[in-house]
Structure 1
Amino acid sequence: MTTSLDVVVLADADEALASTARLAAEFHSGASEREQDRRLPAVEIEQLSQAGIYAATVPATYGGADVPPSVLAEIIRRLAYADPNIAQIPHSHFVYVHLLKVAATPEQQEFFFGELLAGKRFANAQSERGGKTITDIATTFTPDGDGFRLTGAKYYCTGTLFANWIPVLARLDDPEERSSLLAGDYVLYVPADSAGLHIADDWNALGQKLTGSGTVTLDNVAVQPDWVVPRSPAFDGPTSYGAYAQLLHAAIDVGIARAALDEAKEFVRTKSRPWFEAKVDNAVDDPLLVQRFGELTVSVATAEATLVAAGIAVDTAFAQASDDAAQAASVAVAVAKVVGERSALEVSSAIFEVSGTRSAGAELNLDRHWRNARTHTLHDPARWKYQHIGSAVLRDDAPPRHGLI
């Protein structure tokens, strides 16, 4: 282990997992209170940076631990178990680190990977409102002297309140062909303190309240050419860009499912009264309750197992970089996402079913598990996962390369 300006530079995956376990234990103890008080986890996110977790996927050739996707998924799962808000904040960070790996120039990689090793963080300014679908992007950047100017508005910008650099998805507007860039979509890595860039803390969803997923507006923001990375290389070949991003989403759901199950177990063991018809002295001896906990445990264990399998599939896809491996990874991740989402929603709802009326007390904040699961699982619809899984199985159709499978 080495440090630079008090930031740990992780040596390997084992060290990354050990650091995550230590921090997750600390984060878990205050998760409910943070949400009830709406206290943004700025301190906790800084601790993750200082521990080197944000730089965990920096390639070894640039001095990083280069942890594989399966290990990163386990890191995110452990954080989600502790506090899914904290787990979701670095999600886009790792996705945009991956974009640098597959699409940036060596010079860009050297610069930005150095920033990460120094503790800097990325976020996300990708989604927009107003278009016919989420793929319609109105944010544009135009040539301006030796650089560019960026204008637009972004929503659901998770993690921007805690970021040093904000990757912004935009389209080149250059009708006079004043730049050497080709027409298309780009990601512009913009300093969070840039003039004309405004981050609004206006995220008010029913769950995942502390993810900093507010609005980002960009008013003629100056952008240097070295900050501009083409997006198309992420989808032109078997990069597994989408499978990687979705794997991390699945890990959040699985972490929520296990946390809800464990909290339900503790409540029933220590607070619940048995139903009178069971004719037992303790709730844990109610045979119908025992049955239900068996069902919920199978649900969570299945979600955890599919997540592990998906992580291995993405590891293989990264190592082989072949169409077959990439397609297998996308299907495996789609399965994990469906199973994880289903488990998170079922168990976080069943916590009240198995615990009884007193579990609904607002002071307990047990509903946060369901609210967090319900909000996070809205990211992209599971119904389309089933479509792609079925098409792959029946017709050997390759899953689409659009970043959501």
Structure 2
Amino acid sequence: MATSISQTALQATIPSSDPHVYREHHQKFKDEGLPTSADAWLERARQVSDILAADAAARDIENRSPRAEVSLLKSSGLLKVLGPIDYGGGGQSWEVGYKVIREVAKGDGSIGMLLGYHLLWSTTANLVGTNEQKDRIQKLIIENNYFVGGAVNPRDNDLQITEEGDHLVFNGAKNFNTGGVISDLTVLEGVFSGTENHIFAFVPTVQEGIQFAHNWNNVGLRLTESGSVAINQVQIPWADALGWDVRTHAPDPTVLAIPFGSLLLPTIQLVFTNFYLGIALGSLKFAAKYTTATTRPWPFSNDQKKSATEEFYILERYGNFFAHLRAAEALVDRAGLELATLYERHGESRSVTPRERGEVAEWIASAKVVTTDTALRVTAGVFEVTGSRATGRKVGLDRFWRDVRTHTLHDPVAYKNRELGEYVLLDKIPEPTWYT
């Protein structure tokens, strides 16, 4: 579909960050090329994280559309970490991809979240597409270094899909559409009229039928462009309906198989878990620097110390936070390994059993429960060991808690606890849902 001049003009008026601010880093990453090992990819993620951390507090306050930050993800190559090597991707597993998300989130939770959602959406066809679609879409995304957003919020009404000639037409609206404003492609999902069958499809973002409200101005994750979007008469050819037979106009049961296709859901739940953990780790690192440089010892003590780093209660709190974050990280890494192993074992055959899927989902549920609890505790608790001046808006320590608090409301963690209780007591694996 042709680009809408009016929509393009509107997007140009929205305050956004300037990609040229990172030109020095763009050139450096271009000269170095893509990393070629898992360790090198993690080092690249750390470099990006450090760049973002330098002014994350100021950018959070400004709340500008993160075009510069997405340009940094592009030039660094991080958008390609999971892509096939044949098309210029990194060829890494989700085990590495999750750690990359976590590293970026340490420096800036918003950008870590954007990267996580992109990696999930960019691999959607791997799960619910035909082999031809999977290869074609991976080639399109990786060769063009596209950033992918998604209008797939299950809490809203499904988009309605109708057939018009040799095309499908999407209509509807979503209250949340993470990263859409600054994306090149958007994943749409809806229900085919007259059926209960869902269809996923990739479409160009900048077109007349996709209108963003530009209304994301929330407490946390302020640079994720997660506002609402209206979808009006967006067309796709039948060939782009992921997992559907272009000749019969019916879902291909060998492609859209449950439980394999439903792995999309635990995969994104572990995306969430990793950027929660990254944000919490980032808060502890940020707080430690602040305590060392700025926090003063308490003067009204029977055992007065010369520096804050000698205070018993400060040392005790940091040690406790660190221990719990280490435990959470070990659990999250184990969950990532379990999922990556499942993909490696069954990615080609799509023959995963309900039990295998359920076991991995419970590793991920465990990781999400522990990381949610720990991240909320640590990001709030660091103020106890930094002092009242650390609450200053320009300091930016508050952004870590605000970011975690905002997204941990995505779906109630209480349901994950109940799900795990049923697994422990009844040996019951969860039924695939939009949140399990």
- Equivalence map 1:114-129=2 (5 Å): 114-117=139-142, 118-127=144-153
- Equivalence map 1:220-299=2 (5 Å): 220-230=233-243, 236-238=258-260, 240-275=263-298, 276-277=300-301, 278-299=303-324
Q: 1:390 is matched with which residue: 413, 421, 431?
A: 421
Q: 2:166 is matched with which residue: 143, 146, 150?
A: 146
Residue 71 in 1 paired to residue 96 in 2? yes
Deviation at 1:195, TM superposition (A): 2.2
- Equivalence map 1:201-220=2 (5 Å): 201-220=214-233
Deviation at 1:235, TM superposition (A): 6.3
CA–CA distance in 2 between the matches of 1:363 and 1:61? 45
Report which stretch shifted further, 238-247 or 24-33: 238-247
**What is the aligned partner in structure 1 of residue 180 from structure 2?**
160
- Equivalence map 1:125-140=2 (5 Å): 125-127=151-153, 134=155, 137-140=157-160
CA–CA distance in 1 between the matches of 2:343 and 2:207? 34
Report which stretch shifted further, 368-377 or 141-150: 141-150
CA–CA distance in 2 between the matches of 1:396 and 1:62? 43
Check 1:184–1:9 CA distance in 2 against 1; reply closer, same or farther (3 A cut): farther
CA–CA distance in 1 between the matches of 2:64 and 2:165? 43
**What is the aligned partner in structure 2 of residue 199 from structure 1?**
212
Q: 2:115 is matched with which residue: 90, 93, 97?
A: 90
Aligned amino acid, residue 208 of structure 1? L
CA–CA distance in 2 between the matches of 1:348 and 1:9? 33
Match of 2:60, SS state, is: helix
Deviation per residue, 1:97-146 (Å, 9 max, x gap): 33201221233223211121120121110126xxxxx2x63421111111
Deviation at 1:12, TM superposition (A): 4.7
Deviation at 1:62, TM superposition (A): 5.1
CA–CA distance in 1 between the matches of 2:196 and 2:331? 39
Q: Normalized against structure 2, the TM-score is what?
A: 0.83
Deviation per residue, 1:211-232 (Å, 9 max, x gap): 0101111111222222222498
Aligned amino acid, residue 69 of structure 2? E
Q: Normalized against structure 1, the TM-score is what?
A: 0.89
CA–CA distance in 2 between the matches of 1:171 and 1:218? 14
CA–CA distance in 2 between the matches of 1:400 and 1:9? 39
What fraction of aligned residue pairs are identical, expressed as a percent?
Answer: 26
Q: 2:367 is matched with which residue: 327, 330, 336?
A: 336
Report which stretch shifted further, 303-312 or 354-363: 354-363
**What is the aligned partner in structure 1 of residue 199 from structure 2?**
186
Q: 2:70 is matched with which residue: 42, 45, 69?
A: 45
Report which stretch shifted further, 361-370 or 11-20: 11-20
Does structure 2 conserve the Cα–Cα contact (< 8 Å) formed by 1:203 and 1:209? yes
Aligned amino acid, residue 151 of structure 2? A
Deviation at 1:252, TM superposition (A): 0.5
CA–CA distance in 1 between the matches of 2:69 and 2:257? 33
CA–CA distance in 2 between the matches of 1:185 and 1:299? 40
Superposition RMSD on alpha carbons, in Å? 2.2
Deviation at 1:14, TM superposition (A): 3.9
CA–CA distance in 2 between the matches of 1:234 and 1:299? 39
Check 1:245–1:355 CA distance in 2 against 1; reply closer, same or farther (3 A cut): same
**What is the aligned partner in structure 1 of residue 46 from structure 2?**
21
CA–CA distance in 2 between the matches of 1:12 and 1:290? 37
CA–CA distance in 1 between the matches of 2:313 and 2:121? 47
Match of 2:148, SS state, is: coil
Deviation per residue, 1:162-214 (Å, 9 max, x gap): 211111111111x4xxxxxx751111212112222112221121000110101
**What is the aligned partner in structure 2 of residue 178 from structure 1?**
none
Aligned amino acid, residue 133 of structure 2? Q
Match of 1:40, SS state, is: coil
Check 1:196–1:292 CA distance in 2 against 1; reply closer, same or farther (3 A cut): same
Does structure 1 conserve the Cα–Cα contact (< 8 Å) formed by 2:129 and 2:256? no
CA–CA distance in 2 between the matches of 1:237 and 1:362? 46
Match of 1:26, SS state, is: helix
Check 1:358–1:47 CA distance in 2 against 1; reply closer, same or farther (3 A cut): closer
Deviation at 1:47, TM superposition (A): 2.2
Structure 1: 4+ residue segments shifted above 4 A: 6-12, 60-63, 230-235
Check 1:199–1:371 CA distance in 2 against 1; reply closer, same or farther (3 A cut): same
**What is the aligned partner in structure 2 of residue 364 from structure 1?**
395
**What is the aligned partner in structure 1 of residue 134 from structure 2?**
109
**What is the aligned partner in structure 2 of residue 3 from structure 1?**
none
Match of 1:229, SS state, is: coil
**What is the aligned partner in structure 2 of residue 33 from structure 1?**
58
Report which stretch shifted further, 53-62 or 256-265: 53-62
Deviation at 1:11, TM superposition (A): 4.3
5+ residue gaps, structure 1, are 1-5, 129-133, 176-181
**Count of paired positions:** 387
Does structure 1 conserve the Cα–Cα contact (< 8 Å) formed by 2:58 and 2:394? no
Does structure 2 conserve the Cα–Cα contact (< 8 Å) formed by 1:151 and 1:220? yes
Residue 306 in 1 paired to residue 342 in 2? no
Deviation at 1:77, TM superposition (A): 0.2
5+ residue gaps, structure 2, are 1-29, 244-250, 347-351
CA–CA distance in 2 between the matches of 1:336 and 1:234? 27
**What is the aligned partner in structure 2 of residue 131 from structure 1?**
none
Match of 1:149, SS state, is: strand
CA–CA distance in 1 between the matches of 2:371 and 2:108? 16
